[in-house]
Structure 1
Amino acid sequence: MTGVKMTTMTLKEMRATRERGESKTDLAVLHQNKLAGIEPEDDEDSPDATLAIRKEITHRRAGRPTGSGNKKQVAIRFDKDVLEAFRATGRGWQTRMNDALKAWLKEHAPG
């Protein structure tokens, strides 16, 4: 960084500099350029990734992953002893209950 002089100022010093008119930022010119529709040139060394980032964000969804689509949530009541028996089998009892109902349907074709 040859030829660059770094300076540090407190907020109070920056405000005093601006009030004295010693600020090196020409805000009036920047404001006029903005009103005229003149945009600053793009920095070739760091291309704008905003569109790529937004595209990636819109594709990701928050929350649980989508299911397979072949299951439906319902509210159903079972006898207490039936429910306790399946729950006693441990983790995955809902899947085992679903499998038992499928097996029953195979033996007793509806309709």
Structure 2
Amino acid sequence: MAKTFKPGKGYSRKDWDAVADNPALTKEQMSKAMPFADALPELAASIRRGRGPNKAPTKKLVSLRLSGQVIEKYKAGGPGWQSRIDQDLRRINKIK
């Protein structure tokens, strides 16, 4: 059964068309396949590394429940919405 293109999955129709006619791998080919970390160790290490600890942590991770309207309003402003919430709370509470 052939898979079909589905928009909004992180790739374009052009990307899909470029690889859509690739044949399925055989059991023999699969047996020779290397794990990603073995095939591309530097790339795998960079992905695993992530952000890492802060040198001088100034913020604390908390779980906070906010109304959907508040989250939508901040997210509508684009990236950095969490920092804007922090700035607004600091301003309201007169924290420098």
Higher CA-based Rg: 1
Greater relative contact order (Cα 8 A, min sep 6): structure 1 or 2?
2
Sort the TM-score into its range (normalised by shorter chain): 0.3 to 0.5
TM-score, length-scaled by structure 1: 0.38
TM-score, length-scaled by structure 2: 0.43
